[in-house]
Amino acid sequence: MSEAQDYKYIGQRTIRPDGYDKVTGRANYAADLALPNMIWGKVLRSPHAHAKIKSIDTSAAEAHPDVFAVATHADIPNQRNPGALNILAKDKALYHGHAVAAVAARTEQAAEEALGLIKVDYEVLTPVMNLDDAMAPNAPLIHDQLFTNGLPEKPSKPSNVASRMEMSKGDIEAGFKEADIVIEREFRTPTVHQGYIEPHACTVRYDADGQSMIWCSTQGHFDVRGSTANMLNIEHSKLKVIASEIGGGFGGKTTVYIEPVAMILSRKSGRPVKIQMDRDEVFKGSGPASATRNKVKIGARKDGTITAMEAHLYYESGAFPGAAPLGPGCMTIFTPYDVENQYVEGFDVVVNKPKVAAYRAPGAPQSEFACEMVINELADELGIDPIDFRLKNAAKEDTQTLYGPKLKAVGLVECLEAAKSSPHYQSALEQGVGRGVAAGFWFNIGGVSSVIINMNPDGTGTVLEGSPDIGGSRASMQMMAAEELQLPIETFTTIIPDTAHLAHNDTTGGSRTTFATGMAVIEAAADVVRQFKERAAAVWNVTPEQVQWTDGVAINANGEDKMTAAEICANAGRTGGQITGRGNINARGAGPSFGVHIADIKVDRETGKADVVRYTAIQDAGKAIHPSYVEGQYQGGAAQGIGWSMNEEYIYNKDGLLENPGFLDYRIPLASDLPMIETIIVEVPNSFHPYGVRGVGETGIIPPLAACGTAVSKSIGIRMTELPLSPPRILKAIQEAS
Amino acid sequence: MSKSHITTTINGDVREFLCDPSDTLLSVLRDNLGLTGTKEGCGTGDCGACSVTVNGRLVCSCLVLGVEAEGAEIGTVEGIGSSDKLHVIQQKFLEHAALQCGICTPGLIVSTKALLEENPNPTEDEARYYLAGNLCRCTGYDKIIRAVLDSAETLRGAA
Ligand code: FES
Ligand code: FES
């Protein structure tokens, strides 16, 4: 772990600037805005998993005295927008909960009532609910014009397989020939939901002069503007999107569902419209993560050198082709290993489930689960410690990835070493407890960020940035501005303005905020420093090059003169106008973050219930700007991964209807389900970021699947291959084995 | 349907409102009275985001009817701490970084206060089981539990 540089402000555990509002209930989230004259929208959802929509009769709903507007797919102005079919269904309802129509009425109850007056004539079709059924020879077709992409030749018949992709390096056959041992296994993972506690909600106003406004909970308000404007043929300058505080997203709030619908209803009714999803609608109508079936084959020599790695991945895309995060699944699976011979093939398959959406490191947990399970089994067969086995084959600087670039400096080896010497790994195992270790890799992204720092006449500054703050990022931005300007952290206030007050910003996703938006903050702060020097130089009658900015003060290199930020700002009107720093960037060089987790699990053999008794998450942060929130990301990712491993899954009945659309039956981890989650922050700086930052948000959800999968397998002495490891599944495995 | 006229005390203030017999206390607080600090995560009693106290008892306000507030003393997050000084629990949540998105936080602060009034010295396990009705998807609960135990210690010291 390198201690490269001394920093004055970053690396501290400060109180987040938006904290006061959030502990007092003052912070405003999506559902918290009411406007004068506002009416309520409600969405009618398909009661079938797969059905033709023969007709929709809205006349009775329109005649309801409290109803102001009704909308169907026909009301979407841009019928060619590719996402529009998921916003309101057209000829076919493709999953249980697919939006079919919407109404706006005086009260929520009246809107609900009016939904019951809409008559939809459905012709119910056979649903296709899993990969096996979707790929069966005579499977019912979800889209009758879907021809598999990515095959050498266009297939003669349509199918439910949307696309195939393939990646390889080295010589896979030769690699397996060199192996002394080869293990091949197939794994399955269920459909899971991001499970953010705040349901989607928005309040929307369309004005007669064509100006419109959306208030909603989103990871990217600029993208909400982009997709809604496109769907409704509105110019960007006439659509202002305000990002409310966001009650969790995890990738699930990177897309629009109700915002365009509310806008259509507002346009038709001439009133502001609020739509708030129920929890049940969140599960049924918003995008979960792909269920998968993944086969992995790995060969190694007796000395522990891996010689070949091969995978065949099948990802459910939900009802729309191309939504599955198949690319990242294929690209990430073998990246923790410096192995010459690798081959991956992947398929995107449609089923009658909601269109999948991003979920924390989209695509990676599923594929890496399969790889890591086989790695652990190989280590056992070879009689090598699983951490040593990984160390022997670990990716490092200059490792050629399967998907293209060579890795720059990365921290996998450092994470493995930290795991090995951790108090957890050094501790003895109690009787009946199984221990699992797994690694995880996520690329992280950079992208477009636009930041403005306005310096005020009293020397304080306001940082305007465009990345909705889901987990404390305002604090990091404030600290980076302080570091660059060498001014106390409290000098800065961080604000996330609406889309009218800042140039476009990419969505908060890909763990890009602290890295990319942070870089834009640093650039804007450097721009302020440059202007500070110019202003001081003008007063002292020297060149800006002769002015130094040290410890938050301008110093004349040729004399004794000093000028503070407050003095420069107070005088700014007389030296050329107020001072604004700008950082409009497209950040390149997001450094990947590797992680390693250790799980201890004890299974009750009578009931099949598995308890996580100890857990440690180790991950490379490059440089932790705010260590508490970095740890929080590790812990939160671990908890979601534990949920995915142990309990969470969409349960459908034989008609394709979702049976557990609520937190009672879709059981995310409770406080009583988890132990403390120990963390170790490894810091191998990312050479592309001025402070060495790597995104940390996503990697943490990847290792838990195989760490828990292995720990359960060891506890019961049976190799488990299907998630979740819920009590009935574990019990069944125990009973079958005895 | 005729509306009911309800008189109640919320955070010490006498408040009156009209509501339908089917309106929940949660919707009355949020939509009729503008007290949006109390959050809705599920509407079915499964997430705890809507936690409030009714006559000192911790409840999910989505499972209580607005009409049941008649004559009762209601406590919401807006009544915890004062405008110039946070309650110890609120301060400890901030110090321990026990929130990420913060949507679960008002409910957790109300529940933690109820826990510590009932049991000023909870073990980690007792805290985890008492708060099992308050879902948090962001934090993995580690920092929340630390904030709760630290609040308990500080409050015991002050008592
Ligand atoms: S909203 Fe009341 S428990 Fe979830
Ligand atoms: S902080 Fe987001 S749900 Fe708890």
Strand pairing class (A306-316; A292-300): antiparallel
| Residue in the structure block whose two tokens are 């009758």 | A144
Domain B4-79 in CATH: superfamily? Beta-grasp domain (3.10.20.30)
Q: Where are the alpha helices (DSSP H) in A57-196?
A: 59-63, 84-87, 108-115, 131-135, 172-178
Pairwise CA distance, residues B137 & B119, whole Å: 26
Please name the residue of chain B whose CA is at the shortest distance from the CA of residue A470. Answer: B101
pLDDT of amino acid A3: 47
Please name the residue of chain B whose CA is at the shortest distance from the CA of residue A281. Answer: B42
- The number of distinct structural domains making up chain A is 3
Identity of the residue in A194, A279, A472 whose CB atom sits nearest the CB atom of B44: A279
Cβ pair A198:B105 closer than 8 A: no
**Number of cross-chain residue pairs from A and B with Cβ atoms under 8 Å apart:** 180
Name, in order, each residue with C-beta under 8 angstroms of A559's C-beta and a sequence gap of 6 or more: A540
Pairwise CA distance, residues B119 & B152, whole Å: 9
- The verdict on A582 and A483 lying in the same domain is yes
Identity of the residue in A29, A32, A676 whose CB atom sits nearest the CB atom of B142: A676
- Neighboring chain B residues of A26 at a CB cutoff of 8 Å: 37
How close is the Cα of A581 to the center of ligand 1, in Å? 44
How close is the Cα of A197 to the center of ligand 2, in Å? 7
Q: Final residue of a domain: which of A531, A564, A586? A: A586
Ligand at shortest distance from the CA of B62: 1
Identity of the residue in A15, A31, A195 whose CB atom sits nearest the CB atom of B137: A195
Does residue A145 sit within a domain? Answer: no
Identity of the residue in B34, B81, B128 whose CB atom sits nearest the CB atom of A24: B81
Give me the mean pLDDT over the A240-255 stretch: 97
Give me the mean pLDDT over the A428-447 stretch: 96
Interface check A664 vs B, CB under 8 A: yes
- Compute CA distances A685 → A447, A621, B69, whole Å: 19, 8, 56
How close is the Cα of A639 to the center of ligand 2, in Å? 12
Residue B50 CA, closest ligand 1 atom number:
2
| Average pLDDT value for chain A | 97
Does residue A341 sit within a domain? Answer: no
- The verdict on A108 and A240 lying in the same domain is yes
Interface check A627 vs B, CB under 8 A: no
Please name the residue of chain A whose CA is at the shortest distance from the CA of residue B146. Answer: A676
Measured by CA distance, the residue closest to atom 3 of ligand 2 is B136
- Compute CA distances B115 → A670, A671, B10, B89, B103, whole Å: 16, 14, 20, 11, 20
Residue B63 CA, closest ligand 1 atom number:
2
Does residue A337 sit within a domain? Answer: no
- Compute CA distances A623 → A7, A396, A406, A694, B63, whole Å: 11, 18, 21, 7, 45
- Neighboring chain A residues of B95 at a CB cutoff of 8 Å: 15
Does residue A135 sit within a domain? Answer: no
- The verdict on A82 and A226 lying in the same domain is yes
Please name the residue of chain A whose CA is at the shortest distance from the CA of residue B142. Answer: A676
Give me the mean pLDDT over the A50-72 stretch: 98
Cβ pair A670:B127 closer than 8 A: no
Give me the mean pLDDT over the B94-121 stretch: 98
How close is the Cα of A621 to the center of ligand 2, in Å? 22
Give me the mean pLDDT over the B103-114 stretch: 98
| Beta bridge partners of residue A617, listed in sequence order | A597, A679
A44 residue type, one letter: L
| Beta bridge partners of residue A562, listed in sequence order | A555
pLDDT of amino acid A596: 98
Ligand 1, CB within 6 Å, residue ranges? B 40-43, 45-50, 60, 62
- Neighboring chain B residues of A614 at a CB cutoff of 8 Å: none
Cβ pair B127:A671 closer than 8 A: yes
Does residue A138 sit within a domain? Answer: no
Percentage of residues in chain A having pLDDT higher than 70: 99
How close is the Cα of B51 to the center of ligand 1, in Å? 7
> Order of strands, edge to edge, in the sheet holding A547-550?
A547-550, A553-556, A562-564
What tens digit of pLDDT does each residue of A119-135 get? 999 999 999 999 999 99
Please name the residue of chain B whose CA is at the shortest distance from the CA of residue A17. Answer: B94
Measured by CA distance, the residue closest to atom 3 of ligand 1 is B45
- Neighboring chain A residues of B30 at a CB cutoff of 8 Å: 31-32
pLDDT of amino acid B17: 97
The domain segmentation of chain B, as residue ranges, is 4-79, 88-158
Does residue A334 sit within a domain? Answer: no
Residue A2 has pLDDT above 50, yes or no: no
| DSSP 3-state of A156 | coil
Residue B135 CA, closest ligand 1 atom number:
4
How close is the Cα of A246 to the center of ligand 2, in Å? 10
Residue A259 has pLDDT above 70, yes or no: yes
Identity of the residue in A15, A24, A635 whose CB atom sits nearest the CB atom of B142: A635
A39 Cα distance to chain centroid: 32
Best residue in B101, B104, B108, B109 for a mutation probing chain A (most A CBs within 10 Å): B101
- The verdict on A515 and A545 lying in the same domain is yes
Whether the CB of B99 sits within 6 Å of ligand 2: yes
Mutate to test the pocket of ligand 2, among A22, A197, A360 (most ligand atoms within 8 A of CB): A197
How close is the Cα of A284 to the center of ligand 2, in Å? 21
Does residue A318 sit within a domain? Answer: no
Nearest alpha-carbon partner for A110 in A67, A68, A69: A67
| DSSP 3-state of A178 | helix
Give me the mean pLDDT over the A12-38 stretch: 97
Mutual angle of helices A727-737 and A703-716, in 10-degree steps: 40
Percentage of residues in chain B having pLDDT higher than 70: 99
Identity of the residue in A246, A663, A677 whose CB atom sits nearest the CB atom of B135: A663
Identity of the residue in B42, B94, B141 whose CB atom sits nearest the CB atom of A663: B42
Residue A663 CA, closest ligand 1 atom number:
4
Kindly report the CATH number assigned to the domain that includes residue A540. Answer: 3.30.365.10
**Quick one: CATH architecture of B88-158?**
Orthogonal Bundle (1.10)
- The verdict on A625 and A524 lying in the same domain is no
pLDDT of amino acid B84: 86
Interface check A36 vs B, CB under 8 A: no
> Could you write out the DSSP letters of every residue in B59-94?
EEGGGSBGGGGTT-EEE-GGGSSBTTB--HHHHHHH
Does residue A322 sit within a domain? Answer: no
Q: Hey, do B4-79 and B88-158 end up sharing a CATH topology, with the first three levels equal?
A: no
Best residue in B74, B138, B145 for a mutation probing chain A (most A CBs within 10 Å): B138
Handedness of CA A402, A406, A408, A413 (dihedral sign): positive
Interface check A665 vs B, CB under 8 A: no
- The verdict on A603 and A720 lying in the same domain is yes
Whether the CB of B136 sits within 6 Å of ligand 2: yes
Percentage of residues in chain B having pLDDT higher than 90: 96
Best residue in A14, A18, A21, A23 for a mutation probing chain B (most B CBs within 10 Å): A23
What domain range is A688 assigned to? 362-444+591-737
In this structure, are residues B43 and A278 in contact, taking their beta carbons and an 8 Å threshold? yes
- The verdict on A75 and A203 lying in the same domain is yes
Give the closest-approach CA distance of A624 to chain B in angstroms. 15
Residue A1 has pLDDT above 70, yes or no: no
Q: How confident is the model at residue A43 (pLDDT cuts 50, 70, 90)?
A: very high
pLDDT of amino acid A6: 86
Residue A174 has pLDDT above 70, yes or no: yes
pLDDT of amino acid A4: 52
How close is the Cα of A361 to the center of ligand 1, in Å? 28
Interface check A74 vs B, CB under 8 A: no
Pairwise CA distance, residues B25 & A265, whole Å: 28
Pairwise CA distance, residues A454 & B102, whole Å: 27
Residue B83 has pLDDT above 90, yes or no: no
How close is the Cα of A280 to the center of ligand 2, in Å? 19
Cβ pair A245:B47 closer than 8 A: no
Least confident of A197-211, A277-291, B90-104: A197-211
Q: How confident is the model at residue B2 (pLDDT cuts 50, 70, 90)?
A: confident
Residue B101 CA, closest ligand 2 atom number:
2
Burial of B13 (0-12, 13-18, 19+ CB in 10 A): exposed
What tens digit of pLDDT does each residue of A515-574 get? 999 999 999 999 999 999 999 999 999 999 999 999 999 999 987 899 999 999 999 999
What tens digit of pLDDT does each residue of A598-625 get? 999 999 999 999 999 999 999 999 999 9
Residue A713 has pLDDT above 80, yes or no: yes
